[in-house]
Amino acid sequence: MLRNGGLQTLARHGEAWNLIRVVRPQLERPGKHLIGVPLQVGNAWIILARMDDRIDFDGFDALRLADIERVEKQFPRRTFYVQGLGAKRAKFPMLARLELGSTKAMIESIQQRFALVVVDREVANPGASEIGRVQRISDGRYTMKELDPAGSWLKAQTHYRQKDITRVGFGGAYEETLASFAGLRDPQWC
């Protein structure tokens, strides 16, 4: 787990909009770490502006702090990534303040601004994600109305345990495209 020094590093790099690499060895293959800019740090979660394989920012990831072993400010190819972002004139994503003190509060504040969330339960269900809207969240559980990969709603709602959530994605091109297929608009713009 990330120690106080790591939390301070996250906050400092977020204030300076510095590109970092987040290492979660229990959840990711060696060398396959998340790269982005920390935007917000809370008691239980961090929000990262996600850099994708195209060397561009593509939405956000909420990462559970308990899963983060370390944050690296220097890592292989960092200079290349920073130069690539600059050469592309990548637009730095802005994000309104989210509530990060608990999983429940975080998901509710994300859904006030974004139509869909991508929930990862990387320990309970490795390699799979649930995409949709959280309908109910309380008592350590949540109910989700999910979309299939074509943007159609599944009939049944599914129930999961909150403690299994390790990552929540939102605001990326994929989520936004699925939302448009499902006829959804981001609540902040409605």
Domains 1-97 and 102-190 in one fold? yes
**Do residues 115 and 185 touch, judged by C-beta distance below 8 A?**
yes
Residue 134 parent element (H or E): strand 129-138
- CATH architecture type of domain 102-190: Roll (2.30)
Q: Which two tokens stand for residue 70?
A: 């370390």
Q: Which two tokens stand for residue 118?
A: 């991508």
Q: What is the pLDDT along the chain (190 residues), one digit of tens a residue?
A: 555 555 555 555 455 578 999 999 899 887 678 999 999 999 899 999 999 989 999 999 999 999 999 899 999 999 999 999 999 998 888 899 999 989 999 999 999 999 999 999 999 999 889 999 999 998 899 999 999 988 899 998 899 999 999 999 999 999 999 998 888 887 765 4
**Do residues 106 and 126 touch, judged by C-beta distance below 8 A?**
no
Nearest to 36 by CA among 21, 46, 24, 25: 21
Residue ranges per domain, the chain? Answer: 1-97, 102-190
Nearest 5°: CA angle at 110, between 6 and 22?
25
Give me the residues paired with residue 128 across strands.
Answer: none
User: How does DSSP classify residue 40?
Assistant: E
Stated pTM of the model:
0.90
- What was the pLDDT predicted at 150? 86
Q: What is the CATH number of domain 1-97?
A: 2.30.30.100
